[in-house]
Chains A and B, each alone.
Chain A
Amino acid sequence: MLGKLMKYELRATSRTMLPILGVMLLVSGLANLAVRWMNTDRLPAALSVILGLSMVAFILGLISLGAITVFVMVARFRNNLLRSEGYITHTLPVSVHAQIWSKVLTAALWYAAAIVTIVLSVVLLVLDVDFIRGLTDALGDILRLFTDFNNVEVLVELLVILFLESVAMSLMIFAALSVGHSFSSRKMLASVGVFILFAVLTQVVSGVRVSMVPDAGLAAGTETAARGFMESWRITCGHLALGAIVSGGIYYLITAWFLKNRLNLE
């Protein structure tokens, strides 16, 4: 049944997500043209304005794509499980766990798609642009001079952390919505209040946990600052990943319990 649920989840969310990701790639292509032609005098004024705006849209899109994806997944969760549509969803012969997993896995797929789109957008932006290529090469050379900074490893780990944190964040919002919608009135206000509470608790626990992590460079007994940096980075990544998995697990259990025992559909 999970496969069937996911089929309908993907169908419902792709109506919104595919156009968003498509527009992001389109804007990246336009931004590439903007960068190439930025010093050309022969462009018509209107086209210059469009290309300039595409550059602004590219930057805004890059910054907000993750937040937009989270928003779409949260809206889907709320509409499908906590509002009128929930009368159909909750009377399907499937378990609450299958319902939540279908939302989490679908969200995870779209987060991965958003991350791939961000990477593709950056690649599209710099594609065949001498100025940017020169700039990134120079930046890489500078970093390599001072550290053994492995930019591929750092990028992959950064993306994995981003992915795990997005899933954990979604589960935190799912849990807040499930708790908030168990109230008899002012459900969204209650959800926002619960979300703030969860966010503060998560930050406090995370802060305590990070303060207990020993200084990575010293602990590893490394000889150079460069090695120390990578050791620190890896340990931090490990802790962030573990934190996201543990907090995600706790918020999953809260979501399941409230959907099963405190469901209060509008």
Chain B
Amino acid sequence: MPILTCAGLSKSFGGTKALDGVDLTLEPGRIVGLLGPNGSGKTTLLKLANGLLRPSAGKILIDGKEPGVETKKIVSYLPDRACVPDYMTGAQLMAFYGDFYSDFDASAAKAMMERFEIDGRAKIKHMSKGTREKLQLIAVMSRRARLYLLDEPIGGVDPAARDVILGTIIANYDPSATVLISTHLIADVERVLDDILFLKSGKIVLAAPAEELREKHGKSVDEIFREVFRC
């Protein structure tokens, strides 16, 4: 069974269509790049998958179920902004995730915090923006989820940290799980992607395995992206 299915999925805000009849199927065990410029509907799609928004038309299913309490047990979501409670310490944040998610691996979280040299006793409000983002990523990637939805995981960090973050994602996800990475920084993530989805003005304009795209066009995904989205 597909881990994520969209059928005629649309979402409008007032008169603006953020998603327009998206049909999509994601199979388990793939790392998928959801690529598109700002405003193409990437974040809206991820919010719909998390039940943070309701579709205007069509449907979205996670493991055959509409987003709800059951799907949230198997989805690990990294929003595109730092939103962890800043009155907590890093260790308290990990305990919070451990309390609510039965698939949370506390030892993996501890190991990642040590690798990133994050002091678990420090209050989050005293941490830098980059450290907060790393902490949030650690919490999300310490789950043994079946679907990871990562919204701009490398958007706010410097190029050196991007490699570390991507390495963390690859090293910590279960190979039977699906990882959907939303980004417009194609060159940085291209090497880890199995499949590519190009989203333009709320529509999927291209969906194919990354290797197949490169062979067919004789170009990198980043170069194809620049052609598709040339203004």
Contact = CB atoms under 8 A, between A and B. Distances in A.
B20 to A, nearest CB: 19
B52 A88 contact: no
B83 A84 contact: yes
A265 interface: yes
A91 B51 CA distance: 8
Given A87-B52, A88-B79, A93-B69, 7 more contacts: A4-B99, A84-B82, A85-B83, A88-B83, A184-B13, A184-B14, A265-B47
B95 to A, nearest CB: 10
A187 to B, nearest CB: 14
Given A87-B79, A184-B14, A93 B72 contact: yes
A112 B229 CA distance: 59
A91 B53 contact: no
B191 interface: no
Report whether over half of chain B's contact residues are helix, strand or loop; otherwise say mixed.
Answer: loop
Contacts of A90: 50-52
Interface string A1-27: 100100110001001000000000000
A2 B47 CA distance: 24
Given A93-B72, A93-B100, A263 B52 contact: yes
B54 interface: yes
Interface string B55-93: 000000000000001101101010101111101000000
B225 interface: no
B100 A1 contact: yes
Interface in A67-113: 80, 84-88, 90-95
Contact of B73 (A4, A93, A184): A93
Interface in A6-56: 7-8, 12, 15
12 contacts: A4-B99, A15-B87, A85-B83, A87-B79, A88-B85, A91-B51, A93-B69, A93-B73, A94-B69, A261-B54, A264-B53, A265-B47
Interface of A: 1, 4, 7-8, 12, 15, 80, 84-88, 90-95, 184, 261-265
Contacts of A88: 79, 83-85
A33 to B, nearest CB: 35
Contacts of B81: 84, 87
Pairs A-B, 3 closest by C-beta atoms: A84-B83, A87-B79, A93-B72
B14 A12 contact: no
Contact of B75 (A85, A91, A95, A261): A91
Contact of B87 (A7, A12, A93): A12
Contact of B83 (A4, A8, A87): A87
A182 to B, nearest CB: 11
Interface in B168-212: none
Nearest to A262: B54
A90 B52 CA distance: 7
A186 B13 CA distance: 15
Contacts of B53: 263-264
B87 A91 contact: no
Given A8-B96, A184-B13, A263-B53, A92 B72 contact: yes
Nearest to B47: A265
B101 A93 contact: yes
A11 to B, nearest CB: 9
A264 B51 CA distance: 11
A70 to B, nearest CB: 20
A93 B77 CA distance: 12
B58 to A, nearest CB: 16
Contacts of A8: 96, 99
B161 to A, nearest CB: 21
